């Protein structure tokens, strides 16, 4: 029987019944251990024989136990992948993908809308390794002309995390594979539920599970999901060498988040679209950045490739000073000021001009840009809070 993804997410990794008692817990037990014991030397040898054959079987706590394996299985289901590697943060997951797939003398193409820590990975690690990086416009204009003989990788992010630029993933995949390149996609926005880059042709999907996978702002985690077993073996070699791992408690929290991901995202979408409708009509707002809105340049790609939207959107305050934008942010009472997103709560960030400068899609100079994460509070209350903050800052008044 073919079952809906929502149903499969709830049941993937469910513990089997005990052979003696014929009972089983609903949730996967949180298995905390640093050490694995072996019954005898024969068992020890058998475990390592099976590992060498590619089987996922623990021989040390760092490689994960039942809790970790259940989460890996759930994330593979979400992303449509064959193997998942859990990392301590989204940034470390991005670093793992780059370090596993790039070597000294290689060249990589990275979207100019990429998550800012990836630029830090470039400037502090990749450059020191002798890897060259070219940042390409998020609309991928003339991307083929940027490919060099030593290009090995295209690193995309769609939508972007500030301006939410959509990229044509199937077109990127065709270009990459025609040239013998690998395509990595940062899929934190879609988290495997709203967007599935591996199904659209990407080779690797990177997710900051800190965001919507966790969903409660109480864990840090990243994941790299790979669809090709050969590529997975290559990724595992670097993963193992770097000693990356996560704690069992965080794995348990993330698995809990996966179970409720569909209903949370549906409510984030309802709230965000209601808030976006208010913001589009407000005189202080010159633009709402969100690919789910009909005016957005990426709307057609969003309609074709995505399965909904989330709680993220940004607003431009055309004609406002930065001081007025700061006053607006400070006047909000239901939006916490914070960098992250994907939790149950609403958040706001006044984006620094230096963060926007590298984005080719940004042509509004010093116009203040504010990113909002619309949480699970009442949308009416959030709209009322935004309205009073605009008024307090003197924005949009005649």
Structure tokens at 373: 């994460």
Name the range with the highest mean pLDDT among 17-26, 50-59, 116-125. 116-125
Q: In the listed set 238, 256, 274, which residue is the last one of a domain according to the structure? A: 256
Whichever domain contains 94, its CATH number is 3.40.640.10
One domain, residues 234 and 325:
no
For 343-373, the pLDDT digits (tens) are 999 999 999 999 999 999 999 999 999 999 9
Indicate the number of domains in the chain.
2
Q: In the listed set 196, 225, 256, which residue is the last one of a domain according to the structure? A: 256
**Measuring CA to CA, which residue among 250, 253, 288 is closest to residue 272?**
288
pLDDT at 366: 93
pLDDT at 363: 93
On whether residue 55 sits in a domain, the answer given is yes
One domain, residues 39 and 76:
yes
On whether residue 397 sits in a domain, the answer given is no
Contact criterion met (CB below 8 Å) for 101 and 155:
no
Mean pLDDT of 102-127: 97
Give the span between the Cα atoms of 351 and 371, in whole angstroms.
7
One domain, residues 164 and 272:
no
One domain, residues 37 and 63:
yes
On whether residue 398 sits in a domain, the answer given is no
For 117-167, the pLDDT digits (tens) are 999 999 999 999 999 999 999 999 899 999 999 999 999 999 999 999 999
- Residue the block writes with tokens 């702002």: 217
Assess whether pLDDT exceeds 70 at residue 1.
Answer: no
One domain, residues 367 and 283:
yes
pLDDT at 11: 83
The overall average pLDDT reported for the chain is 95
Q: In the listed set 256, 285, 315, which residue is the last one of a domain according to the structure? A: 256
Assess whether pLDDT exceeds 60 at residue 398.
Answer: no
One domain, residues 212 and 244:
yes
One domain, residues 206 and 335:
no
Assess whether pLDDT exceeds 90 at residue 221.
Answer: yes
On whether residue 17 sits in a domain, the answer given is yes
One domain, residues 275 and 376:
yes
One domain, residues 276 and 321:
yes
Assess whether pLDDT exceeds 80 at residue 392.
Answer: yes
The answer to whether the bond into 286 is cis (omega within 30° of 0) is: no
State the pairing for strand pair 182-186/107-111.
unpaired
On whether residue 294 sits in a domain, the answer given is yes
Torsion angle defined by CA atoms of residues 226, 231, 235 and 236, in that order, rounded to the nearest 10 degrees:
100
Give the span between the Cα atoms of 336 and 343, in whole angstroms.
12
- pTM for the complete prediction? 0.94
Assess whether pLDDT exceeds 90 at residue 330.
Answer: yes
Dihedral sign for Cα atoms in the order 28, 32, 34, 40: negative
Question: Percentage of residues in the chain with pLDDT exceeding 90?
Answer: 84
One domain, residues 215 and 188:
yes
Which residues, listed in sequence order, are joined to residue 85 by a DSSP beta bridge? 224
Backbone angles phi, psi at 222, to 5 degrees: -130, 165
Catalytic positions, written as ranges: 62, 115, 186, 211
Mean pLDDT of 181-199: 98
For 372-384, the pLDDT digits (tens) are 999 999 999 999 9
User: How many other CB atoms are found less than 10 A from the CB of residue 94?
Assistant: 27
Whichever domain contains 291, its CATH number is 3.90.1150.10
Assess whether pLDDT exceeds 70 at residue 288.
Answer: yes
**Measuring CA to CA, which residue among 172, 174, 209, 238 is closest to residue 75?**
209
Give the span between the Cα atoms of 95 and 205, in whole angstroms.
13
One domain, residues 221 and 287:
no
Helices 66-79 and 248-281: crossing angle, nearest 10°?
30
- Residue the block writes with tokens 């940042």: 135
Give the span between the Cα atoms of 112 and 273, in whole angstroms.
27
Q: Which domain holds residue 220?
A: 5-256
pLDDT at 295: 95
On whether residue 66 sits in a domain, the answer given is yes
pLDDT at 157: 97
Give the span between the Cα atoms of 185 and 294, in whole angstroms.
24
pLDDT at 51: 85
pLDDT at 209: 97
One domain, residues 179 and 316:
no
- Residue the block writes with tokens 């340049």: 297
pLDDT at 63: 83
Query: Can you spell out the DSSP letters for 235-277?
Result: HHHHHHHHT----HHHHHHHHHHHHHHHHHHHHHHHHHHHHHH
């Amino acid at each position: 029987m073919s079952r809906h993804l929502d149903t499969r997410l709830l049941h993937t990794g469910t513990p089997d019944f005990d052979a003696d008692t014929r009972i089983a817990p609903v949730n996967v037990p949180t298995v905390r251990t640093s050490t694995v014991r072996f019954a005898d030397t024969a068992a020890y040898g058998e475990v390592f024989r099976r590992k060498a054959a590619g089987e996922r079987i623990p021989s040390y706590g760092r490689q994960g136990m039942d809790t970790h394996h259940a989460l890996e299985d759930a994330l593979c289901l979400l992303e449509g992948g064959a193997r998942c590697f859990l990392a301590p943060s989204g940034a470390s997951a991005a670093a793992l993908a780059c370090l596993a797939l790039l070597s000294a003398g290689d060249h990589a193409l990275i979207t100019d809308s990429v998550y800012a820590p990836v630029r830090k990975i470039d400037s502090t690690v990749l450059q020191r390794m002798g890897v060259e990086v070219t940042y390409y416009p998020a609309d991928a204009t003339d991307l083929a002309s940027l490919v060099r003989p030593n290009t090995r990788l295209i690193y995309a992010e769609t939508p972007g995390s500030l301006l939410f630029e959509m990229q044509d993933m199937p077109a990127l995949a065709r270009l990459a594979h025609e040239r013998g390149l690998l395509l990595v996609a940062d899929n934190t926005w879609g988290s495997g539920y709203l967007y599935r880059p591996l199904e659209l042709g990407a080779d690797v999907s990177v997710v900051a599970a800190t965001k919507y996978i966790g969903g409660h702002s109480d864990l840090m985690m990243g994941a790299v999901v790979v669809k090709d077993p050969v590529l997975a073996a290559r990724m595992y070699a670097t993963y193992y060498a770097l000693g990356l791992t996560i704690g069992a408690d965080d794995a348990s929290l993330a698995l809990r988040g996966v179970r409720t991901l569909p209903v949370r995202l549906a409510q984030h979408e309802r709230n965000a679209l209601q808030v976006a409708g208010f913001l589009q009509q407000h005189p202080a707002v010159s633009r709402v950045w969100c690919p789910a809105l009909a005016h957005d340049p990426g709307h057609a790609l969003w309609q074709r490739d995505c399965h909904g939207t989330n709680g993220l959107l940004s607003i431009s305050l055309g004609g406002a000073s930065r001081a007025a934008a700061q006053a607006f942010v400070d006047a909000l009472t239901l939006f916490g000021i914070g960098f992250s997103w994907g939790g149950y709560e609403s958040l706001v960030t006044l984006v620094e001009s230096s963060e926007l400068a590298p984005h080719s899609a940004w042509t509004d100079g010093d116009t203040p840009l504010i990113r909002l994460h619309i949480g699970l509070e009442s949308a009416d209350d959030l709209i009322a809070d935004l309205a009073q903050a605009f008024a307090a800052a003197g924005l949009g008044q005649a």
